[in-house]
Amino acid sequence: MTFKEKVYEFTSKIPKGKVVTYGQLAALVGSPRAARAIGMCMRTNPYAPVVPCHRVVASDGSLVGYSAGEGIKTKKQMLLAEGVIFSGDKVDLHHSQWHPHD
């Protein structure tokens, strides 16, 4: 399985109402130093919305890198509709970060 295939497979498992960070996703697919490469995979995701790239956020909960609709505004609306909790413009990672091994 290629790196991209692993990334898309794992991203497709992120449940509604939860998010992962780029760095977290990189570690989960076995490449902990590949957060930027994760961003490239999300940018070129041919499988949206089956692979929900909008559920991947920056390490501080910031919304970055979304090109669909009205960009970041659309990403936030989608996450809010799914039940993700925000503190201002950032995802509240304490409440909404997915921990698949818990």
Of 20, 34, 53, 78, the catalytic one is 53
Total domains in the chain come to: 1
- CA distances, 74 to each of 46, 61, 70, 94 (Å): 18, 16, 5, 22
Whether the predicted model's global pTM rises above the 0.75 cut: yes
The answer as to whether 32 is a domain residue is: yes
Q: How confident is the model at residue 84 (pLDDT cuts 50, 70, 90)?
A: very high
Question: Above 90 in pLDDT, residue 49?
Answer: no
Are the C-beta atoms of residues 77 and 68 closer than 8 Å to each other? Answer: no
* Percent of the chain whose pLDDT exceeds 90: 84
The answer as to whether 101 is a domain residue is: no
Are the C-beta atoms of residues 46 and 52 closer than 8 Å to each other? Answer: no
Instruction: Report pLDDT digits (tens) over 64-77.
Output: 877 777 888 999 99
Q: Which of the two residues, 61 and 72, has the higher pLDDT score?
A: 61
CATH of the domain at 59: 1.10.10.10
The answer as to whether 50 is a domain residue is: yes
Alpha helices in 1-102 (DSSP H): 3-11, 22-28, 35-43, 72-81, 93-96
The answer as to whether 102 is a domain residue is: no
53 is catalytic: yes
Which pLDDT does position 62 carry in this prediction?
Answer: 96
- Domain residues for the domain of 14 are 3-96
